[in-house]
Amino acid sequence: MPAPESPSEIASDDAVIRLGLIGDNIAVSQAPRLHRLAGLQNGREVTYDRLVPRELGQDHATILADCAAQGYRGLNITYPYKEKVAALVRISDPMVRRLGAVNTVLFEPTGAEGHNTDHSGFISAYRAARGGTPPGATLLIGTGGVGRAIAFALVALDAAEIRLADHDIEKAEVLASELEAAKPGLRVTVGRDAAEISEGAEGLINATPVGMTGHPGSPLEASAITGAWAFDAVYTPVETEFLAVAQAAGLQVISGYELFIWQGVDAWKLFTGLPLDVARLRSDLAKTDPATS
């Protein structure tokens, strides 16, 4: 089997760049379009496969190993496999080890290396929308893979308080302890019911699959959607019920599409080391017909 290319080899070679996405409910994901368009900017052909375990009749670990053997440069990882894949790959970055979740895997000559561009992508998306304004007291619904990445991003953005809501209260409590250790003095509260701990929150974040294709609804009842800003990690569809209610209530909304863009930009840099014009990428994505992806 061919060995995976390194970024330096990719930058100087004309071989096809093989990428893919492991996840569920990804039929309408725009990740293939983003990376193919990034390739076009650099005159490179990119193949990008949607890899759904139940459709392939294989588990995520088998798919990961097969892609490594078949010469893929790397993979993106999405719900519900980010934490599961983290246990299967080498993680060199201390922050990614702390997150315990990966959304990007590079196949290096020395093995599979895990990265997390949800963390850096959320910081970029937030700053692009709100500049240097701190998040304030923020309610984070969902403490899974993307929730953990966003929680530590909120610490980096100097959130005054973080409230964690999750039906799995033990998982939320573990994350709370890790956040307090990362930033001594940070106020962190935990609850099973998001509405019960939402009062007075300036920021509202959905980091659950509720609202995505196949999981309709909102993670928070309309009467509890108040504050200054709201972010939904869901981007398929871009306009979720949660954000629609938040916008109608006068909150500044940040779409999950922004996280999609920025985490994709960071993943492309990891995969290839090649330059990327983000403004052009946005324009091209807006013009490209999803049916051709």
Residues with a catalytic annotation lie at: 82
> H-helix or E-strand containing 204?
strand 203-206
H or E segment and range at residue 176: helix 169-182
Contact predicate 113/88, CB 8 Å = no
Identify the three-state secondary structure at position 184: coil
Contact 48, 76 (CB under 8 A): no
DSSP structural state of residue 290: G
CB 71 within 8 A of CB 18: yes
**Residues written for the chain:** 293
> Would you put residue 223 in left (φ > 0), alpha (ψ -120 to 50) or beta?
alpha
CA distance 219 to 198: 12
197's CB contacts (< 8 A; 6+ apart) are 139, 163, 165, 189, 190, 191
Which residue, 206, 198, 256, is CA-closest to 227?
Answer: 198
Task: For residue 241, give the 3-state DSSP assignment.
Answer: helix
Quote the tokens at residue 166. 């999750």
Lookup: tokens for 183: 């930033």
Amino acid at 3: A
